[in-house]
Structure 1
Amino acid sequence: MCAEALALLRQQEPWFVSLAILGALYVAAVAYRLLHTSGLALCLRGPKDLRRRYGAWAVVTGPTSGIGRSMALELARRGLNLVLVGRDPGALQDIAGTASDTHGVLTKTVQFDFSLVSTPQGEEAMGRLRQAVERLEVGVLVNNAGVATPHATYLHEADAEAWVRMIRVNLWAVTEVTAAVLPGMVERGRGAVVNIGSGAAEALPSYPLYSVYAATKRYVSQFSRSLCVEYRGKGIDVQCQAPLYVDTKMVTNMVTRGGLLSRLIMPTSDAYAGAAARWIGHRRPVCMPNLGHRLQWCLCHFVPDRALAAHRLRENLRQRAVFQLLRSSSGEGIGGRR
C-alpha cells in the first residue's frame, strides 16, 4: 500500500505534493500538541517513585485543609515522610496523625503563620523550619499555603493590611520557604519544588475584584519559570501548578456545585492531588494537572480577551454581592485559606 501511495504521489503535480506534505505535517503537529497539552502521555506512563527519584521527605505548607491536606496525604500514600507547616497546631497534629496511621510514614510539624513573614515572629518560625529540615533528605517541597481574603472587592474598599497579609502569604512566604529548602536539594543534586499558583493568573487575561490575589499568583508562576531554568542543571525540577476551581473552602459560595459537569470543571481536592502528584517532575514550568482544567484553558484561547474579562467582571460582582450579604448576616469576615 505504501508503494502504491508513493507512486500515486509521483503522478501528482508538484504543488499538490507540497500541500499534501504540509497538511500531513500540520496534522502531526496538532496531534502531538494535543497529546502533550492534554496530559494523555502522562496517563500512559506508570506512576513515578517520588521517594526514589527525589528523596525520603516532603515539606508541605498549608496542609490542614483543601489542596494542601490532599497533597500531603497523596505524598504520604506514595511513601514520603512529611514535614507539615501551618498556623494551627491542633490541625497540624490531626493531619500528621492521619498520615502516620493511614500510610505508616514519619511526620514532623512546624507551626508557622505565614501572614507574619518578615516580622520578628515570622523570623522565629522560619528558624524553626530551617532547623526541622536541616538534616532531612527533603526531596519534594509543595508551597501550597495561600489566601484569597478579602474576597471579590474593589481595591479601594479593602483595608490595606489585608493586602499586606495576602502578599506575605502568597508571595513572600513562597520565596522564603523555597530559599530555606533549596540548599539541601542543591547539595544532594536532586529535588522537586512545586508552587501552587492559580489558573486566574494563567488562563484569564484579567481577574477583576481579585487584582492583588491574581498578581501574587502571577509572581508565583514567573518565579517558578525562572527557578526552573536556574536549577535544572543542578538536578532540581521546579514547577508551578496552576489549578482553576477546586472544591475547597477557598471557593465556597463562588460556583454552583453538583453533577458530572461540575466535577469535571471543579474536581475534589483529592482528585486534584492525585493528578498533581503525577505531574511532579514533568518538565513544564507552568501546568494545569487536572484534565478538566486544561480543557477549560484550551477553550479560553478561542474566546476574545474582552469577552472573557467582561464575563469575569460580571461573575465576580455577583460573588461580591454574595460575600457582602454573608458578612452582613453573620457579622464576621469570610475565611479565604485553602
Structure 2
Amino acid sequence: MVTEILANIPSPPQGVWYLGPIPIRAYALCIITGIIVALTLTLRRYKARGGDTDMVWDAAIVAIPAGIIGGRMYHVITDHDSYFGPGKDPWQVFNFSAGGLGIMGAVALGTLAVWGLFKYRNVPLAPFADSVGPTIILAQAIGRLGNYFNQELYGRPTDVPWALDIFYRVDENGNFAPLTGRSTGEIVTSVHPTFLYEMIWNVAAFAFLLWAERRFRLGHGRVFVLYIASYTLGRIFMELMRDDAANTIFGLRVNLVVSSVIFIASTVAFFLMRRGRENPGEVDPRGIAEKRKPEADGHAADADMQDVDPGTNAPARGDVKNPHKQKR
C-alpha cells in the first residue's frame, strides 16, 4: 500500500504565486510558452516554404486574441449551466482568471481570423496552414501542463501506480480554493492523469505529422487537416476516461460528441482533398520575390519561385503551379 502511494504522481501544492499583488499563474505561463514555441517553429517552417515571415507575426496578432475569445465562447456555450440560471452570475463569463478555455473553439475562431487575414492580403493560406498545424499540437502539449498545476481535466478515480493525487487546497482564510489556494496535504482522490495522457498523445501526434508530411509529401492544407484529425482522435479517448460534471448530448459528453464529429469530417476531408503531383511546398512567391531583385533575363526570379521542400531550404523537384508566376 505504501509503495503504491509513493508511486503516485503528486499534484503541485499550488498553481498561483504572488509577486506582491501580481498573481503569477502557472497555467498562463504554460500557454505563453506553448505560443512562443509554436511561433518559433512556424517561422522556420513557413520560411522553408518561401513564405514571408512577416505574415506569421501578422497571423499571430489576429489568431491569439481570436483564439482566446473563441476558446472562452466554446467553454461558456458547452458549460452554460455554470454561468446562467438561478443563483448564477452571468458576468463571470468575462472572468478569464477563473479558468475555462475550450481548445476546439480557440482553433476554430483563430483559424477563421487567420483565413480572413490571408484573404485580405491575397496570400495563399494552405502553405501557412501546413506550416502551423504541427506546431499547434505541440503548443497544446505544453499547455496541458497548466492543467496539472490547476488540478483539472483529470480522469476517473484509479489505483494504478501512476495515479494523480488531487490535493485539497484552501485560500488564506481556510476556504476551499482549488485553483488559487495552497495544498493542505490532504489527498482528496487519486485519478487517471488524463492531462498527461493527452500531452503524450499530442507530442506523438507532432512527430507523426512531421513524418507523414515528409513520407507522403503532403501539402495543399492536408497537413493541417491531418492535425485536426489527429488531435480529435486523441481527445475522443480522453473524454471516454473522464467522469467529471459536463453537459451532455444524447447522454454523451459534449466534447466527446464534438470531437467525434470533427474527427470524422476531417478524416473524410483529408482523403478528398487535392493531392496534386506537384511538390507540396506551395511557395508564396511574394515571400521571397519581393525581397530579391530579379535579374534582367528573369532567370533569378524563376529560381526564387521554385518550390521548396517544407523540411529544408533546398529547392525541391518540379515547380509549383503558381498563379502569381508570370509567363515568359
Q: Which has the higher contact order (CA 8 A, sep 6+)?
A: 2
Question: What TM-score do you get using the length of structure 2 for normalisation?
Answer: 0.29
Question: What TM-score do you get using the length of structure 1 for normalisation?
Answer: 0.28
Higher helix share: 1
